[in-house]
Copies of this chain bind each other. A is one copy, B any other.
Amino acid sequence: MAARITLIAALLALASSHALAFDPSPLQDFCVADYDSNVFVNGFACKKAKDVTADDFYFTGLDKPASTANELGANITLVNVERLPGLNSLGVAMSRIDYAPFGLNPPHSHPRSSEILHVAEGTLYAGFVTSNTENGNLLFAKKLQKGDAFVFPRGLIHFQFNIGDTDAVAFATFGSQSPGLVTTANALFGSKPPIADYILAQAVQLSKTTVGWLQQQQWLDISQEYRQRLVQAN
């Protein structure tokens, strides 16, 4: 059971690494994030230019699959400003997503970016749901094969599911240095502290008992490596 929960938590975490937002423009060539600064601003304070080297613009390890041995059967490797300091002020980020057979990057949204998902290996079913419209919440979804790409607009809930019987790999393009990840089920049922059960019961049309059961599950984040720092502090 614990394993299953871990897996699910891991898969839920998957949901995260996709879209790019529309950040403020840079005011100099670059402004490499200074992780050691004790000054916190919108984005990051910058390193002194004389200390900047090519390594500040460099990231390695995107060829390595992350373990999908979790309940969701998926895992995410993020390349955002919290892990690649040279991205600060430059308005781009990316990620790698690994999927076991039937692995799921569960429904999630990115508050600060749209996304292009590109399938490098395997076969995925991917889609997004619009905001509330006159005609309801429309699902736009598609089966994707190796070499296909699909677009997820900013702030909308989207997902990918490995419908093949082999591992799958995808890469995501974002337009923000820190697109942010809201895994829908984690935010609803796994917040700390929890949202009151009678509120969730009313919202999702389930009994308080079922909601309570859900809230006792573990809702792991499959983008464990992800450091969405609140502001830039700890």
Q: Which residues of A contact B (CB under 8 A)?
A: 5, 8, 11-13, 16, 19-32, 34, 37, 39-43, 45-55, 57-64, 72, 79, 81, 84, 86-94, 104, 106-107, 109-116, 118, 120, 125, 127, 129-142, 144-157, 159, 161, 171, 173-178, 180-196, 199-200, 202-206, 210, 214, 217, 219, 221, 223, 226-234
Contact of A132 among B43, B57, B196, B228 (CB under 8 A): B228
Please name all residues of chain B whose beta carbon is closer than 8 Å to the beta carbon of A205 when the two chains form the complex: 5, 8, 185, 214, 217
Please name all residues of chain B whose beta carbon is closer than 8 Å to the beta carbon of A86 when the two chains form the complex: 151
> Is the CB–CB distance between B29 and A111 below 8 Å?
yes
> Is the CB–CB distance between A29 and B195 below 8 Å?
no
Please name all residues of chain B whose beta carbon is closer than 8 Å to the beta carbon of A23 when the two chains form the complex: 22, 24-25, 27, 175
Shortest distance between the CB of A196 and any CB in chain B (Å)? 8
A-B contacts, 15 listed (Cβ < 8 Å): A8-B202, A26-B42, A26-B154, A41-B42, A60-B148, A61-B147, A90-B154, A106-B199, A109-B155, A112-B154, A132-B228, A138-B191, A139-B194, A171-B171, A184-B203
Q: State in angstroms the CA–CA spacing of A203 and B13 once bound together.
A: 10
Q: State in angstroms the CA–CA spacing of A47 and B229 once bound together.
A: 12
Q: State in angstroms the CA–CA spacing of A91 and B27 once bound together.
A: 9
Contact of A182 among B8, B37, B136, B156 (CB under 8 A): B156
> Is the CB–CB distance between A111 and B159 below 8 Å?
no
Q: State in angstroms the CA–CA spacing of A107 and B113 once bound together.
A: 21
Shortest distance between the CB of A93 and any CB in chain B (Å)? 7
> Is the CB–CB distance between A107 and B188 below 8 Å?
yes
Please name all residues of chain B whose beta carbon is closer than 8 Å to the beta carbon of A130 when the two chains form the complex: 29, 228, 230
Please name all residues of chain B whose beta carbon is closer than 8 Å to the beta carbon of A133 when the two chains form the complex: 29, 227-230
Contact of A139 among B111, B161, B192 (CB under 8 A): B192
